[in-house]
Amino acid sequence: MPPSGVLGFLPVVMAEAAKSWSGIVLSNDSFEVVIRFVGDAVRTAQELPWRSSVTFKRERGGAIVMTGTFSQWWDLTPWVLGWGPDAEVLSPPELRAETASRLKAAAELY
């Protein structure tokens, strides 16, 4: 018999929260996210504590490509923006377009 009450749902909620980047977005959706890191971000990105669904592949020239599955692409937007020019979103197209739009808007301020 499964545990009852609020504590019985805790493992289920924790498993669902682990699918999001921030840990606070619960969703049944699933998106493959692919990001290329260059420069100083290559070392730093690989040192972050990633879940087991994230993989890295080294490219010629020293860049790395991270591939992972997340519950919502928009949950990663602020994180991707923090890498500045050292991260390029390859997919999904929605995250790539949102990142480009925000970076262009920021550049126009300067």
The domain of 103 spans: 6-108
**CB distance 31 to 92 below 8 Å:** yes
Res. 7 pLDDT band, cuts 50 70 90: low
Task: List the beta bridge partners of residue 70.
Answer: 31
Res. 64 pLDDT band, cuts 50 70 90: very high
- Mean pLDDT, range 2-9, rounded to an integer: 61
Q: Is residue 86 part of a domain?
A: yes
Q: Is residue 23 part of a domain?
A: yes
If phi > 0 it is left, if psi is from -120 to 50 it is alpha, else beta; for residue 17 that is: alpha
Q: Is residue 1 part of a domain?
A: no
pLDDT digits (tens, 9 = 90+) for 73-104: 887 899 999 999 999 999 999 999 999 999 99
Residues 6+ apart with CB under 8 A from 16: 26, 71
DSSP per-residue codes, 75-97: GGHHHHHTTGGGEEEEE-HHHHH
pLDDT digits (tens, 9 = 90+) for 15-59: 665 655 545 555 567 789 999 999 999 989 888 877 667 899 999
Q: How many domains would you assign to the chain?
A: 1
List % helix, strand, coil for the chain (3-state, nearest 5): 45, 20, 35
Q: Which helix (H) or strand (E) holds 35?
A: strand 31-37
Q: Is residue 85 part of a domain?
A: yes
**CB distance 86 to 51 below 8 Å:** no
